[in-house]
């Protein structure tokens, strides 16, 4: 029986995997969807000190206390930062690290290091003006009401409304904290990059090309937007189940 640990991105929570979980479960998979500290149903735990290290620890401890092994560890978008740190901490528990249209950091990098300078400047300005200096209240200009419909490739109006009603500000240290690794890159578990072709993103395109060129990686392309667990859960479930050991 496969075990899946699904790590959501900034602004989201464990709730975002709601459509995917039963599909994996019906196929015999065990599924864990931790919510990172300060987000989703754990928004009451948000403080200026919460950051990337906190979120890595959230997932490490979830896996450790549940004694999970042979895990398919999946991270979407900024969740790629988190799963990279988790794989460095507990590689013996992981069968595959799956970057679902996600950032793949090197040691010492943060999310903002991988953003275009103008995007980082916009984030910094929003944190200062709207987030009391420590919260990033929304993903980027334009405001959410200007990107509906079509939120990250989610076109269904009901799905968009469901997502927007649940998004919360994210502690900015999730984006600015550098990732510190203890192990060599070639000492990590097998890695898979899933590129969602309907979401234009030069950075993710570059990461997909790098994965394709590396014997250490498997590249999979999906005909979906950036949030396939909402817009294409059937397609995503088949992709993930095929990765099970």
Which H or E element spans position 57? helix 52-65
- Among all chains, which residue has been given the structure tokens 């200026």? 48
- Among all chains, which residue has been given the structure tokens 């950075």? 203
| Tokens found for residue 80 | 């790629």
231 classed as catalytic: no
Residue 24, phi-psi category: left (phi > 0), alpha (psi -120 to 50), beta (remainder): alpha
Within 10 angstroms of residue 48's Cβ, the number of other Cβ atoms is 13
Catalytic annotation, pick one of 77, 110, 224, 231: 77
Of 156, 158, 153, 157, nearest to 224 by C-alpha is 153
DSSP 8-state symbol, 45: G
Q: For the chain, how many residues are written?
A: 245
Q: State how far the Cα of 98 lies from the Cα of 88, in Å rounded to an integer.
A: 14
Of 230, 78, 72, 233, nearest to 163 by C-alpha is 230
Which positions are annotated as active-site residues? 77
């Amino acid at each position: 029986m496969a075990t899946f640990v699904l790590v959501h991105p900034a602004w989201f929570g464990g709730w975002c995997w709601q459509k995917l979980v039963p599909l994996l479960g019906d196929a015999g998979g065990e599924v864990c969807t931790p919510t990172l500290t300060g987000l989703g149903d754990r928004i009451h735990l948000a403080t200026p000190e919460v950051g990337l290290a906190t979120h890595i620890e959230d997932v490490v401890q979830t896996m450790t206390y549940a004694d999970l092994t042979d895990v398919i560890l999946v991270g979407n978008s900024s969740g790629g930062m988190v799963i990279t740190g988790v794989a460095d901490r507990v590689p013996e528990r992981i069968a595959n690290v799956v970057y679902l249209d996600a950032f793949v950091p090197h040691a010492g990098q943060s999310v903002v290091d991988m953003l275009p300078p103008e995007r980082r400047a916009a984030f910094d300005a929003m944190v200062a003006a709207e987030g009391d200096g420590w919260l990033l209240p929304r993903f980027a200009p334009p405001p959410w009401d200007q990107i509906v419909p079509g939120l990250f490739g989610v076109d269904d109006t009901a799905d968009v409304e469901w997502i927007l009603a649940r998004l919360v500000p994210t502690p900015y240290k999730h984006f600015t904290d550098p990732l510190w690794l203890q192990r060599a890159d070639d000492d990590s578990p097998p890695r898979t990059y899933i590129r969602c072709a309907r979401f234009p993103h030069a950075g993710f395109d570059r990461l997909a090309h790098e994965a394709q060129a590396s014997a250490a990686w498997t590249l999979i392309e999906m005909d979906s937007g950036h949030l396939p667990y909402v817009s294409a859960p059937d397609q995503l479930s088949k992709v993930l189940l095929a990765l099970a050991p």
